[in-house]
Structure 1
Amino acid sequence: MPDIILEKFINNYLNINSAIITLVTIGLITIITIVAYSLERKISRSSPFYKRITVHLLEGLVLGFSMIMLEQIFFILNSGSINNGWLYANAQLTILLYCMYLIRNKITLIINILMPILYYHSMNLPRLNNKDLPLFAISYIFLIIIVSFIYYQTENLENSEWKYLIMQVLFGLSWWIILWVDHSFPTIEILIMLIVFLIYMSIIRFCAKKLQDTMLNYDDLQVQVNYDELTGIRNRANLDKTSIELYKTYYSEKAVPLTIAMFDIDHFKEFNDQYGHSTGDEVLKHVAHTMEREMFLTDTKGQLFRFGGEEFIIIFRGKKPAECVPIITDLRNTLVNTPLILNGQKLDVSISFGISKLIEEDSSFEDLFNRVDKYLYASKNSGRNRLTVEGFTYNFDDLK
């Protein structure tokens, strides 16, 4: 008997069709991972409801498309028959469970809960007279509990290999009992199919982890390319790329203003000369972090960049220079009222600003930068700790 089971296992599972379905499943998992990863980066908990639900629906559509694609490929491999359906079922269960871990939204939860009902044999009315109906109902309820638990406890499960394995076993067991009610195959095969399902999940999890690690490495590279290593804010390269896009957008949209503010640290060279370059680095970080934190807390809608050296840029979309003056004044006041304490010594830091908006005469973003830079130096030449807006210089103390 064991020899027969082993021979059947080898014939059914170790063949070319099994290899193809496995590779197709890995390919679909890769597509799902890339799409989900790209979509989830576009939203956060603070995103509008319509935006979040749109992303979640798209993720659900990708999951549904993957299930249909897997079904079509399976039927092509089997010339339209349902032979070796266990292979197709295990592949589908693998995708369903994987998406529960990857795509953490209620759309995937609903799809997992409804799948036994959407599964065509489950709609057969003769089942109502089936003596195994209670077993189906119990297994279905058990599946709902397991799926819901996985959805709400994903992070805890991922942190424990044993919990993760137990949830896989319970998920696969409840599904194969449901399938057994319809097809009445030998009960020993539930165990065999469950083992195959766990092997599938191990393969998929390994491949998915490698894919996610690759994406994280790509993110790290993106951070290195687009963010300043010292201060952690956007760098000159990111500014250059952003400015090209902004010019195309806002130059054609005459009714929507775009304002640029450039500032630098007053007497920065003295920090380096008197205290050393390490202190100068701390001053740069202090200014960048204070400004970025305050911009986030007050929701200014501005973007902060390190332009180079001790110079910084803030881009304000949809705001006129006059609207930016009180924002910049508050940012400056926060910085002045938050001195840097370094090695027990208090270091007072002030900044000078130049502000201008994109105008029709600007042939490129470079024209705007040059004008803002000129206004910044007008503030510095007027005694520093000042603000020049479209050629007019003000003392910050007079703007309180």
Structure 2
Amino acid sequence: MSIKLEAGVFPKLLNVDANINAIIIGLITVGLITILTIMSYSFEDISRRHKSRLYDVVLGLSEGAVVVISMILVQHIFKALNAGSSANWFYATTQMTILLYSLYTMQNAVIEFVNIIAPLYIFGHHLFEGNTGYNIIFMGALIAMAITVIYIARNKNNLLNDEWKYIALQIIYGGIWWLIIWPIYRFSPIRTIYIMIGFIIYMWIIRFVATWIRNSFNDYNNLSKKVNYDELTRVRNRANFDEVSAEIFKVYSKNKEIPLTMAMFDIDHFKLFNDNYGHMAGDKVLQHVASEFEHQLFQQTTRGQLFRYGGEEFVIIFRGLTTDDATKVIKYIRQKLINEPLEYNGNELNVRISFGISQLHPSDRNFNDLFKRVDHYLYMSKEAGRNRLTVEDRTFTFG
């Protein structure tokens, strides 16, 4: 018994131009998936560090915008490769892949909204052609799409860990799209099956590539954190400070018109926190101070970089800020710490800090000259009674 395959499906596989176009689109799709993956993980890291509702909204809108731009880009590429037409099953499959992948990768409501309205954006103009039957199918499919998207978004981790559920949701998601597309292009049932199989295979390839990218990104990120970040406070460590300080001295010693200021601070009577409340309390104080400084430095100026130098000592490098500018920022953050004391096991832990601040001088032969001066100013603040600020050899009490 012979099986008669649909004419026109497999001959296209032998079409050189079609295959080249498919390869081009495939490579572009992989590139877009790579960009979406890196952006998603970068944005997650930013959101995790700053924990701000405003940041989440801005980042979510940015992710949604990139997905929409990717869809528009794919549309124009297909039109360029197909003499101005985007009526192609591979085009629809590529759009579905980008949308479904973004839904699994990016965790915000904007991406859910984009997935739900995408059919309306791509095929909504057919609603005005007066085909009542199609309009009913389209609206029903749009409702089904909304339910499916919301389900995937709420259960993405479970779906990614269960291969059969992942395949089932791919079929449902793709099936809804083809329910919308079929009345327009009138693909035969056998061709629709081929297309659905192609979509599933395509998504598995993309998933494999994306997983490799994700794992590589995580491995690099974890290695970078271990090497450059303090495990307790999650800010940059002494090793990273030594590396950065050598680099910035080369830059700022040659560009003397651009200021470089360094501040060093020490938590006053830190040992008492450990003695009175236990070492866990001391760790909480370090985390509290580091977190507050890291957050506020980003809020006040993007030019401040925080390092844990050792023990209860921290260093801030201000690129492009004078001592006056840096002092204003530090006073603001210090006051925030005073106004918002740390609560620990029902106790209010009041943290006080001593500072030393200096700007890079033309006479500094290396970064160590600046460091020694700042370290000496910090010592002056502590000798004067702690809870002080010493700027360029002058010690002040906080008002």
Length-normalised TM-score, structure 2: 0.68
Quote the residue 2:29 is aligned against. 29
1:293 match: 291
Equivalent position of 2:123 in the other structure? 116
1:259-298 aligned within 5 A: 259-264=261-266, 285-295=283-293
Matched residue type, 2:54: S
Higher mean C-alpha displacement, 218-227 vs 383-392: 383-392
1:231 counterpart (227, 230, 233): 233
Q: Which amino acid aligns with 2:170?
A: Q
Give the distance between the partners of 1:386 and 1:253, measured in 2 at CA. Answer: 29
Which digits, 9 at most, give the CA deviation of each residue in 1:265-318, with x for residues without a partner? Answer: 56889999x99xxx88x6773443020233367656564311245431134676
Q: Which amino acid is the alignment partner of residue 399 of structure 1?
A: F
Segment drifting more, 152-161 vs 17-26: 17-26
Paired residue for 1:389, among 385, 388, 391? 391
1:153 Cα deviation (Å)? 4.6
Indicate the SS of the match to 2:54: coil
Amino acid at match of 2:179: I
Distance of aligned partners of 1:297 and 1:209 in 2 relative to their CA distance in 1, 3 Å threshold = closer
Cα deviation digits, residues 29-52 of structure 1 (max 9, x gap): 332233224445357552497887
Q: Alignment RMSD, CA only?
A: 5.0
Equivalent in the alignment of 1:63? 71
Question: 1:129-278, aligned counterparts within 5 Å?
Answer: 133-161=131-159, 164-239=166-241, 244=247, 259-264=261-266
How far apart, CA to CA, are the structure 1 residues paired with 2:256 and 2:166? 53
1:354–1:376 contact (8 Å) kept in structure 2 = yes
Question: What code does the residue aligned with 1:285 have?
Answer: D
Structure 2 residue identity aligned to 1:65: L
CA contact (8 A) 1:295 1:331 kept: no
Deviating more after overlay: 185-194 vs 241-250: 241-250
- Equivalent position SS for 1:233: coil
Task: Normalising by structure 1, report the TM-score.
Answer: 0.68
2:375 paired residue number: 373
Q: Tell me, what secondary structure is at the counterpart of 1:306? A: strand
Structure 1 position 324, deviation (Å) = 4.3
Cα distance in 1 between the residues matched to 2:21 and 2:169: 24
Q: Read off the aligned partner of 1:68 and give its amino acid letter.
A: H
- Which protein is bigger by CA-based radius of gyration? 1
Alignment of 1:95 onto 2:98: yes
CA distance in 2: counterparts of 1:158 and 1:366, whole angstroms: 51
Question: How many angstroms apart in 2 are the aligned matches of 1:85 and 1:72?
Answer: 13
Q: Does the 8 Å CA contact 1:228/1:235 hold for their aligned counterparts? A: yes
Cα separation, 1, equivalents of 2:175 and 2:234:
48
Taking the aligned partners of 2:148 and 2:368, their CA distance within structure 1 comes to 53
Percentage of pairs with the same residue: 32
Quote the Cα distance in structure 1 between the aligned partners of 2:366 and 2:70. 41
Contact 1:291 1:331 in 2 (8 A): no
In 1, the alpha carbon distance for the partners of 2:184 and 2:14 equals 26
From 301, 308, 311, give the equivalent of 1:306: 308
2:322 counterpart of 1:320: no
Letter in 1 for 2:65: L
Whether the 8 Å contact between 2:71 and 2:95 is mirrored in structure 1 is no
Aligned letter for 2:378? L
Q: Give the Cα separation in 1 of the matches to 2:315 and 2:375.
A: 10
Query: Secondary structure at 2:265's aligned position in 1?
Result: strand
Give the secondary-structure state (helix, strand or coil) at the position aligned to 2:188.
coil
Deviations 1:374-395 (A, max 9, x none): 201223444555432321234x
Q: Which amino acid aligns with 1:323?
A: K
CA displacement at 1:217 relative to structure 2: 1.8
Tell me the equivalent position of 2:50: none
Structure 1 pair 322/339, CA: closer, same or farther in 2 (3 Å)?
same
